[in-house]
């Protein structure tokens, strides 16, 4: 964690409703002591800054990349990838002169390429894998047809008649902890198509342990599963819980998906200085 006598600059960003704390840690201002607990405290809403996750920008050991990140969920756990956080950090890096409009950065899931165009950021996702387009999931009180795919992190996708009628917390938690997806667990997404043909999505996120207003990797997972099961063609746009739209583009050859992109808004909400009061409680 940081030295308790120092204040620490940070930024708060929102990507389609997913909110993140971003810290430029290229000079090593954040110490490693009990870092997961420190992150959890800072991400606690109403008591501290509050966010769906926190990311550190750090020097990259790889040539051809502008920086690397470390991304933490709100509960302090490390996540391999987060699509909306990736779009946010790309815009932040451009605004702060860390990188150009076209940039590349390193994540646990792989190298992410991004393009910043005003408030809209488009990222090239790592190739999806472990696609299971259809299976029946046995839960305690029902069976549920689902698909699953890893889009940097694991996701389950369920097509439902109306996402507004879904108990996302209860059903999402049951899927997240299902034995089929242990020990790491999974994220759970619920999608439905309205009378106007538009798709809507709601997501229960592992690591946040609740519903978030948007999930970039979840939108990509939903697009891949729908393309595999309903022959949906690229691009696919989803209306997220926040009301913002996220668009997924992809190419498909046989059963394999590649050249997968995610685009949507990434907004710098505010910047500030956090003090020890943000984490000493």
Evaluated on CA atoms 244, 241, 87, 197, the torsion sign reads negative
Which structure tokens are listed for 187?
Answer: 């994220």
H or E segment at 212?
Answer: strand 210-212
Residues in the chain, how many? 281
H or E segment at 83?
Answer: helix 83-95
H or E segment at 216?
Answer: helix 216-230
CA 219, CA 200: separation in Å to the nearest integer? 10
Instruction: State the burial class of residue 176 (Cβ atoms within 10 Å of its Cβ: 0-12, 13-18, 19+).
Output: buried
CA angle 167, 171, 173 (to 5 degrees): 120
215 catalytically annotated: yes
Half-sphere exposure of 53 (CA within 13 A, CB side): 33
43 catalytically annotated: no
Which is catalytic among the residues 43, 82, 88, 249?
A: 82
Query: Which of 74, 83, 69, 62 has the alpha carbon at shortest distance from 23?
Result: 69
Which is catalytic among the residues 43, 88, 215, 249?
A: 215
CA 204, CA 155: separation in Å to the nearest integer? 10
**Which residues are catalytically annotated?**
82, 215
């Amino acid at each position: 964690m940081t030295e308790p006598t120092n204040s620490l600059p940070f930024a708060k960003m929102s990507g389609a409703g997913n909110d993140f704390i971003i810290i430029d840690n290229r000079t090593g201002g954040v110490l490693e002591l009990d870092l997961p607990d420190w992150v959890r405290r800072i991400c606690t809403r109403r008591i501290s800054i509050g966010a769906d996750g926190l990311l550190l920008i750090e020097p990259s050991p790889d040539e051809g990349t502008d920086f690397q990140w470390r991304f933490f969920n709100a509960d302090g756990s490390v996540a391999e990838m987060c699509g909306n956080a990736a779009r946010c950090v790309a815009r932040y890096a451009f605004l702060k002169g860390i990188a150009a409009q076209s940039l590349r950065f390193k994540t646990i899931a792989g190298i992410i390429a991004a393009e910043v165009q005003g408030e809209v950021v488009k990222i090239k996702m790592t190739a999806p894998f472990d696609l299971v387009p259809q299976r029946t999931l046995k839960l305690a009180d029902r069976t549920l047809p689902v698909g699953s795919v890893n889009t940097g992190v694991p996701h389950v996708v369920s097509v439902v008649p109306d996402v507004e009628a879904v108990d996302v917390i209860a059903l999402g938690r049951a899927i997240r902890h299902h034995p089929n997806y242990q020990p790491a667990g999974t994220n759970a997404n619920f999608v439905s198509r309205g009378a106007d043909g538009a798709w809507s999505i709601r997501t229960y996120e592992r690591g946040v342990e609740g519903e978030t207003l948007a999930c970039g990797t979840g939108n990509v997972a939903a697009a891949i599963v729908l393309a595999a099961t309903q022959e949906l063609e690229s691009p696919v746009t989803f209306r997220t819980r926040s009301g913002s739209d996220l668009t997924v583009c992809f190419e498909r050859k046989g059963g394999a998906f590649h050249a997968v992109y995610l685009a949507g808004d990434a907004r710098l909400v505010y910047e500030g200085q956090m003090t020890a009061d943000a984490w000493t409680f």
